[in-house]
Amino acid sequence: MKIGVPKEIKIGETRVSMTPSLCRRCVSLGAKVLIQKSAGLSAGFTDSEYREAGAVLVSDAAKVWKSADLVLKVKEPLPSEYDLLQDGQALFTYLHLAAGPALAKILQRKNILGIAYETVEGADGSYPLLKPMSQIAGRLAIQVGAYFLQSQYGGSGVLLGGIPGTLPGHVVVVGAGNSGAHAVQMAAGMGARVTVLDLDTRKLELLDSEYRGRVVTLMSNPANLESCVADADLLIGAVLIPAAKAPTVVTNAMVSRMRPGSVIVDIAIDQGGCIESIRPTSHKEPVYKQHGVVHYAVPNMPALVGRTSTLGLTQATEPYVAMIVQRGVNAALAAHKGLAKGVNTRDGRITNEAVAKELGCA
């Protein structure tokens, strides 16, 4: 099997889908790895490390795509990559098709076997390939939010931890899953006042017992959201309905009642975002102001910490990639139900039910 690893081209992207260590493993299992030159540099991996691990270095992205049976990526293909996709090719990457109808059409037209990291399921129903990036995005959301709260960057000038004698900042996290729980952890660690809302009482119970009163847990309903959002210095959107477009949980009316210079970080932007006033931004221009509130909605936040993110992502993908190399893609999908849940497109069809429903092709 030939595995192609192109350099990521999304704005500000620094991750790579394969480390030299994973490359060595794939080569030892019999794969030929074609990696684009300098693909790993922004994550701290040099071309010579890949060469020593047995990869063939290729200068041109088109050559990587052309001869690969399986293209291993981090982010979804961008329009400039659409022509490079080869009919019938397998693609293993984040796809987020519910928020990307144009890409879904291309994958259908080219009969791509599109396996989305974000819908691969663990035995317990969890999403093991989404988890590490969500953990990173959750932790980063507080770091980024604290930065944009600073007066020089358009923020209200609130220090999240405060100092003795002043009120700490109020961080409100909507969604208590992987990203939300990690945002809560960082915010509490910085000494902020923290409120977290979810629909799932088990998640709230876990956080309640972990933080023993240091964090307020609330059911996510319009009344609770209205009062919390109005008082938030930093609002984090961290909801997910697997494979579906994110629901609008925080309305324009709620955002318009926030204090000027408060900050919103909508982590869920890759699934369309859960704040009504949100639209995607990029690492080049990460924020805009609406209703006097700073909005941050970068869909590839983990690229801010490319080294940690690459290591976190590839340690999660490695067992699946190894299985695909050992058995071949189709046999691996037949043998592993959780991996098969990752298949979003196949033979010109959208095969994931939630994605198909979202795109109106169910």
The catalytic residue positions are 96, 270
Task: State the nearest-atom distance from the C-beta of 168 to ligand NAD, in Å.
Answer: 23
Pairing of strands 293-296, 287-290: antiparallel
For 207, the token pair is 């956080």
Task: State the nearest-atom distance from the C-beta of 23 to ligand NAD, in Å.
Answer: 24
Residues 194 and 184 sit within 8 Å (Cβ to Cβ): yes
Residue from 261, 353, 291, 344 nearest 91 by CA:
344
The binding site for ligand NAD (CB under 6 A) comprises 118, 130, 133-134, 137, 174-180, 197-200, 203, 220, 238-241, 246-247, 249, 267-271, 299-302
Residue from 73, 120, 106 nearest 92 by CA:
73
CB of 60 or CB of 200, closer to ligand NAD: 200
Alpha helices in 242-281 (DSSP H): 252-256
CB of 22 or CB of 240, closer to ligand NAD: 240
Name the residue whose CB lies closest to ligand NAD. 177
List CB contacts of 343: < 8 A, sequence separation 6 or more: 113, 114, 115, 116, 333, 351, 352
CB of 17 or CB of 89, closer to ligand NAD: 17
Alpha-carbon distance 72 to 93, whole Å?
A: 6
CB of 3 or CB of 171, closer to ligand NAD: 171
CA distances from 217 to 89, 108, 281 (A): 46, 43, 30
Task: State the nearest-atom distance from the C-beta of 265 to ligand NAD, in Å.
Answer: 9
Residues 81 and 9 sit within 8 Å (Cβ to Cβ): yes
Task: State the nearest-atom distance from the C-beta of 225 to ligand NAD, in Å.
Answer: 8
